[in-house]
Amino acid sequence: MHCLLIEDDPVISGHIVQGLQSAGITTTCAGSVAEGLARGRDGDFDSVVLDRLLPDGNGIDLLRSWRRNGPVPPVLMLSALGSVKDRIEGLEAGADDYLAKPFHMAELVARVNAIARRMPVRGGAEMAVRSVGRLRLDPSRHAACFGDGSVELNRKLYSLLANLMLHADRLVTRDMLLEQVWGYSFSPGTNIVESNMSRLRSRLQELNIDPILTRRGEGYTLMSGACR
């Protein structure tokens, strides 16, 4: 496994590198937003450990920039800002997990291993389904296509749609989506599913299609009849 660590504090960075490499995780380091962007473009990583506060910017802005430009590896965000509001902001910006400082090294290693196992684009629902009616997935562009139109999706929205398409006309519960898309076996106590589902609906409406039925208190169903 290859991890990109973006952390400006040399003491913390050295501690993390030692812990990750002792666990068999190859680690490449960056100390700023600019260096993180460059390393992210040049490397092939299975996970990213991203500090929230960096000398030339905010890790959240870096993460949002990555997400806008296509799929990126799973991201564990580190921060001394550990309130519920801060964690929600990090998760909704696209982080796969959030760990507050100070932390135990063993927990960080376990979380990095966990998010790396969530990589869905190499063999999950995204690889199992390609179309429902005229609604299609284009993995080369991470896009949803309907008729002659298409919209590009970030990794989470693409995975959400793929899971709904895989179970077309069947109920997909919130817990199922938390596990399949985010890798959580528990509720993180946020509206992360609902907010991302709202974004996915907005993107699909740009294609003049609205196939997702909300079953309040139960989950969601992608209606194949709306994709004809």
24-28, 30-34, 104-108, 155-159: least confidently modelled range: 155-159
Please, where in the chain does CATH 1.10.10.10 lie?
Answer: 125-227
Average pLDDT of the residues in 78-105: 89
pLDDT for res 84: 87
What pLDDT digit, counting tens, does each position of 171-227 carry?
999 988 888 887 766 676 778 899 999 999 999 999 999 999 999 888 999 999 999
Position 122 scores a pLDDT of 41
* pLDDT number for residue 71: 61
Q: Check residue 221 and give its pLDDT.
A: 96
CATH superfamily of 2-116: Response regulator (3.40.50.2300)
Please state the three-class secondary structure of the chain as a single string. Answer: CEEEEECCCHHHHHHHHHHHHHCCCEEEEECCHHHHHHHHHHCCCCEEEEECEECCEEHHHHHHHHHHCCCCCCEEEEECCCCHHHHHHHHHCCCCEEEECCCCHHHHHHHHHHHHCCCCCCCCHHHHCCEECCEEEECCCCEEEECCEEEECCHHHHHHHHHHHHCCCCCEEHHHHHHHHHCCCCCCCCCHHHHHHHHHHHHHHCCCCCCEEEECCCEEEECHHHHC
Report pLDDT for 65: 80
Q: Please, where in the chain does CATH 3.40.50.2300 lie?
A: 2-116
Higher pLDDT, 94 or 5: 5
Mean pLDDT of 121-141: 70
Which CATH fold would you assign to the domain 125-227?
A: Arc Repressor Mutant, subunit A (1.10.10)
The tens digit of pLDDT for each residue in 149-172 reads 999 888 788 889 999 998 889 999
Tens of pLDDT, residue by residue over 35-46, are: 988 887 666 687
Q: Is-above-0.75 flag for pTM?
A: no
